[in-house]
A and B are shown apart, each in its own frame.
Chain A
Amino acid sequence: MIAVALWSVAALLALAPAGIVLSTRPRGSIILYGGCLIATSTLCVTALSDLLFFPHLTPSATLPIGLPWLGAHFRLDALSAFFLVVVNLGGAAASLFALGYFRHEDSPGRVLPFYPAYLAGMNVVVLANDAFSFLVAWEFMSLTSWAMVVSHHREAENVRAGYVYLLMASFGTLALLLAFGLLASGAGYDFDAIRASHPSVAVSGVVVILMLLGAGSKAGLVPLHAWLPLAHPAAPSHVSGLMSGVMTKVAVYGFVRIVFDLLPEPVWWWSMVVLLVGGPSATLGVLYALMQRDIKRVLAYSTIENIGIIFTGLGLALAFKAEGLDWVAALAFTAAMLHVFNHALFKSLLFFGAGAVLGATGERDMEKLGGLIHRMPKTAFAVLVGCVAISALPPFNGFVSEWLTFQAILLSPQLPSWGLKLVIPAVGGLLALAAAFAAACFVKLYGISFLGRPRSDVAASAHETDRFSLTAMFVLAALCLVAGILPGLFIDALAPVSKDMVGNIMPHQVGLQWLTIVPIAESRSSYNGLLVFLFAALCGTTAATAIHRFASDRLRRAPAWDCGYPDPNPAIQYSASSFSQPIRRVFGSVIFAAREIGEMPPPSSPAPARLQVELHDLIWDVLYAPIAKVIGFATDRINILQFLTIRRYLTLVFVALVVLLLVVAL
């Protein structure tokens, strides 16, 4: 199994230099993306069969590369297999999408060599079984994605995004490096040795905080999210989908691997920290998303929300595991993992939809779109499925994982710790808020860009996207529905992962009457997506047939009514900013220090009145801006050292040497 996986990764790595040559050929993109599609599909099928049929085998391999005394260790256990499925499902879908989307790429040479390398990097992170390979692969993944973020480097915005991304990625890797340094101090870099070494409680605590910084910054947890909404939208759309849908999951994998697997039994305050970061990330992420007007940026901010939900689930799992309630920990952990899978599906789908819109119109700004449902009906349908799924509405998959998380929250009165007793209901409230905001956010995204009347000529003359892109979107949309109505299959597939990580599993689901899911006991809670779906379909079609048969089926077209004042100007419609104005007014005044400044021209002046909206990212203002200022100040002071004469440099070197020798001597 692991040999197949490693050969596929090697194939991806080999495709990377081939990309340089292929990027100059007319059919080069097709060959490259086709190759990536085959390699990722192979990996996905391998990992899936491993997860389903041999979850208890953990094949491992050691390759003589990397550090000479260590080698590169790889291992495929249930957790790795599950994340391999997520990574390669997203990778295969993105490659399929790119088979059609590559036509919109004007400089393929800036994307093609990095794309397979990036996929390989993510796969190796998940397969690695020693700290060195893990970190190298992690950094590889960061750098190749950075290269694709700045592929359109002529736009100033993208260059800034790349700069911030590079800084934050280095910061994250630094935190990871320190965490591994602490873990490896007693054991070495091999994960098996670390696992056996049982680090002390103090060291473990510091490692958890460092992991939260390192993996959290890659995943986009508030307040380390600042780079994410800049970098994810800047990349080409299929790469955006991978970064948001898949790379954030690789970060989640890193956190789970170290905190749940390598560290000893958790302590209750770890969960407190994770929950206090996860809950606010969920709510703030989606509130930010609501304020945006760039489609891809909305999606990027919504990723922060979903990562918040996942980390809330992980925090709950830690809390319950720390207090010895394994069976609830299994529920919370499974919910988090299911959300990992679900989010990879619908976020990739939505980014592909945004890519299709971008390809058809050249616009990412919602204020310039509208009415696309008439001109891109198939894309519109697939994106609608994604929007409903990500808003956590039944019968789609987003609802199932949120429902399971809520069920775990409802069991929290059983925890003895008072801190957790007060924090968990508050986090539950934050998740409830996030779910409602997410629905508002995606009503806005879909309603403004796909419904209504076109707001610009490009939107009015858009054309349906190509077959490959549509296939990729429809496959993901179908998976969203299947995971929503048959969640039991997916929960059962996750059982070995949960068994390895928290030591217990959720009750077996497949085989229950009507495929209902029952997390604890039937008298407590149950949900049956299949029946909800069938019932709703039955009710809807019955109503439609009955009314058309017995009442009336006549229909005529007429101009819109609009209370008698229809205006042909499309600017009369609600825009993205005006749609979110009520929510901005209710929540934004505190959270974004939002202000509306109206400029009225004096009477008799023909100048138009203007309304300006000011939004501040308070986290940027409070946390990042001061740090940037201090660094700027310090570098300004040190800058004089750059322009010294050779004599002064020699003196400096001499003084430094003397000081160093003195320090060593004393």
Chain B
Amino acid sequence: MNALRDILSQGAQMSLVLGLAPLLTGFVRKVKARLLRRRGPPLLQPYRDLIRLMRKDVVLADNASWLFRVIPYLIFAGTWVAASLVPTFGNGLLFSWTADLIAITALLGSARFFQALAGMDVGTAFGGIGSSREVMIASLAEPAMLITVFSVAMIAGSTQLSSVAEFMGSDAVGLRVSLGMAFVALTIVALAENARIPVDNPATHLELTMVHEAMVLEYSGRHLALIELSSQLKLLLYVSLIACVFLPWGTATADAGVARLVFGALLYFGKLAVLGFLLAVFETSIAKMRVFRIPEFLGAALMLALLATLLRFVSGSL
């Protein structure tokens, strides 16, 4: 009976993140449009876009290799697995011990590795520029993420996301300087990883400012749909991660009843809405950076994360 419940809960989680990801993106787009006093596309537009793309033919560049056709599925699989391992409304997922925070970071790293390769497969100048810049951004964002994970893991005494979330929800945490720093660092990393302003612009099609969009320039049809869906999943993953580690209140515990689960789910939607709203406000109020400003921005995240870790070494209570 318990096993059944666990499997159901994990299955629910997987379909939840998949179903919810386009909605979050649609919500952020809508809020951004409203802030700019536009009406904006309807909330469900991302779903329609995905369905439309999936039904279209794939137009493949003449010299694209087999790898180019496989990569969208690899990216999607990696991101989906990672996203379904982050607790959303309840802890104690059946497979939460499959991969800890470091492994989740590395899974996203695998997805990015293949994405950067895809940018170089057709042999166009724009693909190369995208991949080259992406690995530059990643070379700072990934260590920043890992060190943030270190600092959080040292406070919680675990890299296991369920244990971290449980610890963060308990009274043992208190107010810590290092957690504040880790929060800022994680937010910066999340902006960079999801190709948001000020690091990259998800809406741009101006050649010289593209990073993510340049890598996926040659994709079309179902391949493009999968890559879009993966980016939406990744945004949801990072928002859930921030919610689960830094806003752990109301997350249902492993042995919670149905009422608690429903309450946790409602609260989770609330958290997503708040964080999505904040993201939209942040993006509208700031300008995109020049490419070579990004290392300074991400360097700040790296330093903050390292400082948070060092603080933890210096004093157990900071």
Chain A residues engaging chain B, CB cutoff 8 angstroms: 370-371, 373-374, 377, 380, 384, 388, 391-394, 399, 403, 406-407, 409-410, 412-413, 421-422, 424-426, 428-429, 432-433, 435-437, 439-440, 442-444, 446-448, 451-453, 516, 522-528, 531-532, 535-537, 539-541, 543-544, 547, 551-552, 554-563, 566-567, 570, 572-574, 578-583, 585-586
Residue contact A528 to B59, C-beta cutoff 8 Å:
no
Closest 3 CB pairs of A and B: A574-B128, A452-B123, A447-B120
Residues of B96-129 whose CB lies within 8 A of A: 97-100, 102-103, 106-107, 109-110, 112-113, 116-117, 119-129
Residue contact A523 to B158, C-beta cutoff 8 Å:
yes
Residue contact A453 to B123, C-beta cutoff 8 Å:
yes
Residue contact A391 to B113, C-beta cutoff 8 Å:
yes
Residue contact A543 to B73, C-beta cutoff 8 Å:
yes
Residue contact B143 to A579, C-beta cutoff 8 Å:
no
Residue from B57, B98, B124, B306 in contact with A425 in the complex, judged by beta carbons closer than 8 Å? B306
Residues of B260-316 whose CB lies within 8 A of A: 291-292, 295, 302, 306, 309-310, 312-314, 316
Residue contact B117 to A523, C-beta cutoff 8 Å:
no
Interface-side segment among B37-45, B74-82, B190-198: B74-82
| Residues in A whose Cβ lies below 8 Å from that of B63 | 371, 374, 453, 560
B151-162 interface bits toward A, Cβ cutoff 8 Å, 1 = contact, 0 = none? 001100111100
Residue contact A540 to B65, C-beta cutoff 8 Å:
no
Given the interface pairs A532-B98, A559-B61, the reply to whether A429 lies near B124 with Cβ below 8 Å is no
Residue contact A526 to B218, C-beta cutoff 8 Å:
no
| Residues in B whose Cβ lies below 8 Å from that of A407 | 159
| Residues in B whose Cβ lies below 8 Å from that of A561 | 59, 61, 124, 217-218
User: Which residue of B is nearest A430, CB measured?
Assistant: B143
Please list 14 pairs of residues, one from A and one from B, whose beta carbons are closer than 8 Å in the complex, sorted by A's number.
A394-B106, A399-B103, A442-B113, A451-B120, A524-B157, A525-B100, A526-B97, A536-B74, A536-B77, A552-B54, A560-B122, A562-B124, A574-B128, A579-B135
How big is chain B's contact interface, by range? 35 or more
Q: Give the docked Cα–Cα distance between A424 and B95 (Å).
A: 31
Q: Give the docked Cα–Cα distance between A557 and B218 (Å).
A: 12
Given the interface pairs A440-B135, A547-B54, the reply to whether A451 lies near B117 with Cβ below 8 Å is yes
Residue contact B99 to A563, C-beta cutoff 8 Å:
no
Let me know if B93 is at the binding interface, CB within 8 A. no
- Give the shortest distance, in Å, between A123 (CB) and chain B (any CB): 35
Residue from A409, A412, A557, A579 in contact with B131 in the complex, judged by beta carbons closer than 8 Å? A579
Let me know if B56 is at the binding interface, CB within 8 A. yes
User: Which residue of B is nearest A442, CB measured?
Assistant: B113
Residue contact B122 to A435, C-beta cutoff 8 Å:
no
Q: Give the docked Cα–Cα distance between A574 and B132 (Å).
A: 9
Q: Is the interface of B mostly helix, strand, loop or mixed?
A: helix
Q: Give the docked Cα–Cα distance between A87 and B203 (Å).
A: 53
Residue contact A583 to B139, C-beta cutoff 8 Å:
yes
Given the interface pairs A436-B143, A547-B222, the reply to whether A560 lies near B124 with Cβ below 8 Å is yes
Residue contact A536 to B55, C-beta cutoff 8 Å:
no
Given the interface pairs A425-B310, A523-B163, A558-B62, the reply to whether A532 lies near B99 with Cβ below 8 Å is yes
User: Which residue of A is nearest B139, CB measured?
Assistant: A436
- Give the shortest distance, in Å, between B32 (CB) and chain A (any CB): 25
| Residues in B whose Cβ lies below 8 Å from that of A554 | 57-58
Residue contact A531 to B62, C-beta cutoff 8 Å:
no
Given the interface pairs A440-B138, A444-B135, A552-B56, the reply to whether A393 lies near B110 with Cβ below 8 Å is yes
Let me know if B169 is at the binding interface, CB within 8 A. no
| Residues in B whose Cβ lies below 8 Å from that of A585 | 292
User: Which residue of B is nearest A287, CB measured?
Assistant: B139
Q: Give the docked Cα–Cα distance between A540 and B114 (Å).
A: 14
Apart from A421-B313, A516-B98, A572-B124, list 9 A-B contacts with CB within 8 A. Answer: A403-B106, A409-B150, A425-B306, A429-B302, A436-B139, A524-B160, A532-B81, A532-B103, A582-B136
Q: Give the docked Cα–Cα distance between A446 and B218 (Å).
A: 19
Q: Is the interface of A mostly helix, strand, loop or mixed?
A: helix
Residue contact B143 to A435, C-beta cutoff 8 Å:
yes
Residue contact A583 to B123, C-beta cutoff 8 Å:
no
Let me know if B252 is at the binding interface, CB within 8 A. no
| Residues in B whose Cβ lies below 8 Å from that of A572 | 124-125
Q: Give the docked Cα–Cα distance between A198 and B290 (Å).
A: 61
| Residues in A whose Cβ lies below 8 Å from that of B98 | 516, 526-528, 531-532, 535
Residue from B65, B113, B122, B313 in contact with A443 in the complex, judged by beta carbons closer than 8 Å? B113
Residue contact B160 to A526, C-beta cutoff 8 Å:
yes
Task: Choose among A410, A424, A585 the residue with the greatest number of B CB atoms under 10 Å from its CB.
Answer: A410
Q: Give the docked Cα–Cα distance between A447 and B123 (Å).
A: 9
| Residues in A whose Cβ lies below 8 Å from that of B60 | 555-558
Q: Give the docked Cα–Cα distance between A566 and B95 (Å).
A: 46
| Residues in A whose Cβ lies below 8 Å from that of B119 | 447
| Residues in B whose Cβ lies below 8 Å from that of A384 | 67
Given the interface pairs A524-B159, A554-B58, A574-B125, the reply to whether A583 lies near B136 with Cβ below 8 Å is yes
Residue contact A537 to B133, C-beta cutoff 8 Å:
no
- Give the shortest distance, in Å, between A286 (CB) and chain B (any CB): 10
- Give the shortest distance, in Å, between B295 (CB) and chain A (any CB): 4
Residue contact A551 to B135, C-beta cutoff 8 Å:
no
| Residues in B whose Cβ lies below 8 Å from that of A552 | 54-58, 221-222
Residue contact A432 to B59, C-beta cutoff 8 Å:
no
Q: Give the docked Cα–Cα distance between A205 and B245 (Å).
A: 44
Residue contact A573 to B81, C-beta cutoff 8 Å:
no
Let me know if B31 is at the binding interface, CB within 8 A. no
Let me know if B236 is at the binding interface, CB within 8 A. no
| Residues in A whose Cβ lies below 8 Å from that of B185 | none
Residue contact A570 to B222, C-beta cutoff 8 Å:
no
Q: Give the docked Cα–Cα distance between A580 and B133 (Å).
A: 9
| Residues in A whose Cβ lies below 8 Å from that of B54 | 547, 551-552
Residue from A373, A403, A523, A539 in contact with B102 in the complex, judged by beta carbons closer than 8 Å? A403
Residue contact A440 to B62, C-beta cutoff 8 Å:
no
Q: Give the docked Cα–Cα distance between A288 and B103 (Å).
A: 27
Residues of B201-235 whose CB lies within 8 A of A: 207, 217-218, 221-222, 225-226
Residue contact A388 to B113, C-beta cutoff 8 Å:
yes
Residue contact B116 to A394, C-beta cutoff 8 Å:
no
